[in-house]
Structure 1
Amino acid sequence: MIRTLFYILFSQLLLVGADLKNYTIAVCTTSDFEGAMECKRKILRDNNLEVFIVKDKDKKFKTYYGSFKSYDKAENTLTKASSFIKNQKSLVKELSYDLKNMNNKNPLFIDLNSLNEKSKNTNETTFAMKYLDELKSISLPKISENKNKRVTDNILKNEPSRNITLYDQLIIDVNSSTNTMILKGKLNNKIRNLQTYVVSTAKKDIRKPTGEGSVTAITLNPIWYPTQDTIESFKKRGIDLPAVVFPGNKYNYMGAAKISLSHIVDGKNTFRIHGTLSESTIGSNESSGCIRMKNNEVIELASLLNKFRDSKNIDNIKVYLK
């Protein structure tokens, strides 16, 4: 009888435990803590629930918005969340622990590999705690816009391109006379030069794209689809170029990355910023209209643009060719 009663009580406890689920809204996943902090700042601009940063078992930093006891409450909050949260393709996530309780131990940083261990004075924890005062000031609803602006300006002053997502707009300015490209960031109607690259631009005797345009796609290790004119041009040089040139092919003239542009010349919309197979030509006028870069630099540029696009919008990247 006692044994039977024990099993009944034990089963009920299991059922109760099964109902103790916790939910949150997963917003950002980044490879570094600074990226998670940027995500947190953006969330706190227009939302009033607590934001949590977790270092997960995959060593990635996860930024979560809110802690909920039911899926429906989390889902309802997501439908009313800011456009930034929705633009990140955020989703409701079930967790096996309570975010609020865990963050009482460390308000900024959790390592899921050591949730059951006593708090340790690790370098990562020390690094995370450096942001505590800034986090508290950002969280206060009465903080002035001027103070927010000073915090942002201080961040950008040290490493302007690394904090690419803090800008309102990116501008790519290409000068074919000097064969230089400048990546600029616009914030609060002020424009800052972020990176300068030496590039190759169009030959002097061909019609090249000019004026304002935008970025339509960003691709690492791109496949190249040469035009029929390009295939015919290669044939004259004794090269049978395939219709589809895959990454790593010795004839893939896109190099390590390509950034497709909206510019149109004579009805053709095939202009890109891309890598090259011959970096010794960088700095000269020798392309058919595209802008060519060193492969390591085009990867850097594409990565910066991807990071900005994921946080803001690809339409906020403008390209000026002259």
Structure 2
Amino acid sequence: AAVQQPARRTAMRPQINPIYLPQEVAFDGPQKPGTIVIDTHQNFLYLVEKDGKARRYGVGTGKPGFEWSGTHKITDKRVWPDWRPPAVMIKREAAKGRYLPTYLAGGEENPLGARALYLGTTEYRIHGTNQPWTIGGAVSSGCIRMRNEDVVDLYERVNVGTTVVVI
């Protein structure tokens, strides 16, 4: 008799709201094509295209107290980036009983996910995540979080020097 395989167990995770999946949308902002615009109130990132259009992605943004706005350029791009949490973040999380490493190599377990786009001289970046169910929420310490497949797509479309406007 054939041995029956045990049923595969998959952890139930909340599904992402389809509104946060990448899509072409109308865009009437003043920014020129090639600019990234991040709306931290609606949790969308727009890559401005020609003819009043943009590619829109859902993002996770800064939780209350970690919101910010401004204009920066992408200063670096990395594939499966290493993560060195800032000392202030390590201290803040330790106070809550959550101990962060001082260094974590790039890979599946790394919270920066598959790609990172570094913003100006800030500690902020647009990066992937190993928690895709958080997209659409105010969840980060100020970074802009995307699903890994979305950040890979964006990474291929933009270059160092791209303007990023956070509103």
TM-score normalised by length of structure 2: 0.72
The 3 A distance-change label for structure 1 pair 232 and 298 is same
Q: Distance in 1 between matches of 2:153 and 2:106?
A: 18
Would you say the 8 A contact 1:182–1:193 is kept in 2? no
Q: Distance in 2 between matches of 1:290 and 1:180?
A: 13
Task: Choose the corresponding residue for 1:198, options 39, 55, 58.
Answer: 58
For residue 293 of structure 1, what is the aligned residue in structure 2? 146
For residue 50 of structure 1, what is the aligned residue in structure 2? none
For residue 274 of structure 1, what is the aligned residue in structure 2? 127
Would you say the 8 A contact 1:199–1:282 is kept in 2? yes
For residue 113 of structure 2, what is the aligned residue in structure 1? 255
Q: Distance in 2 between matches of 1:175 and 1:254?
A: 20
The 3 A distance-change label for structure 1 pair 302 and 194 is same
The 3 A distance-change label for structure 1 pair 274 and 236 is same
For residue 17 of structure 2, what is the aligned residue in structure 1? none
Cα displacement (A) at 1:193: 2.8
Q: How many residues align?
A: 137
Q: Distance in 1 between matches of 2:47 and 2:55?
A: 5
In the alignment, structure 1 residue 180 sits paired with structure 2 residue 44: yes
For residue 222 of structure 1, what is the aligned residue in structure 2? 81
Structure 1 residue runs without a partner (length 5+): 1-159, 161-167, 264-268
Would you say the 8 A contact 2:71–2:163 is kept in 1? yes
The 3 A distance-change label for structure 1 pair 218 and 242 is same
What CA RMSD, in Å, does the superposition of the two structures yield over aligned residues? 2.2
If you compute each CA radius of gyration, which structure gives the higher value, 1 or 2? Answer: 1
Cα displacement (A) at 1:290: 0.8
Q: Distance in 1 between matches of 2:107 and 2:96?
A: 21
- Residues 6-155 of structure 1 mapped to structure 2, 5 A cutoff: none
Q: Distance in 2 between matches of 1:273 and 1:191?
A: 25
Name the aligned partner's letter for residue 321 of structure 1.
Answer: V
Q: SS where residue 34 of structure 2 aligns?
A: strand
For residue 321 of structure 1, what is the aligned residue in structure 2? 166
Would you say the 8 A contact 2:108–2:130 is kept in 1? no
Cα displacement (A) at 1:238: 4.1
Q: Which runs of 4+ in 1 moved over 4 A?
A: none
Q: SS where residue 94 of structure 2 aligns?
A: helix
Would you say the 8 A contact 1:201–1:290 is kept in 2? yes
Structure 2 residue runs without a partner (length 5+): 1-23, 25-31
As a proportion of its length, which structure holds more helix?
1
TM-score normalised by length of structure 1: 0.39
Q: Distance in 1 between matches of 2:144 and 2:102?
A: 22
Task: Choose the corresponding residue for 2:69, options 210, 229, 235.
Answer: 210
For residue 236 of structure 1, what is the aligned residue in structure 2? 95
The 3 A distance-change label for structure 1 pair 204 and 318 is same
Cα displacement (A) at 1:256: 1.0
Question: Percent identity among equivalent residues?
Answer: 30
Cα displacement (A) at 1:213: 1.4
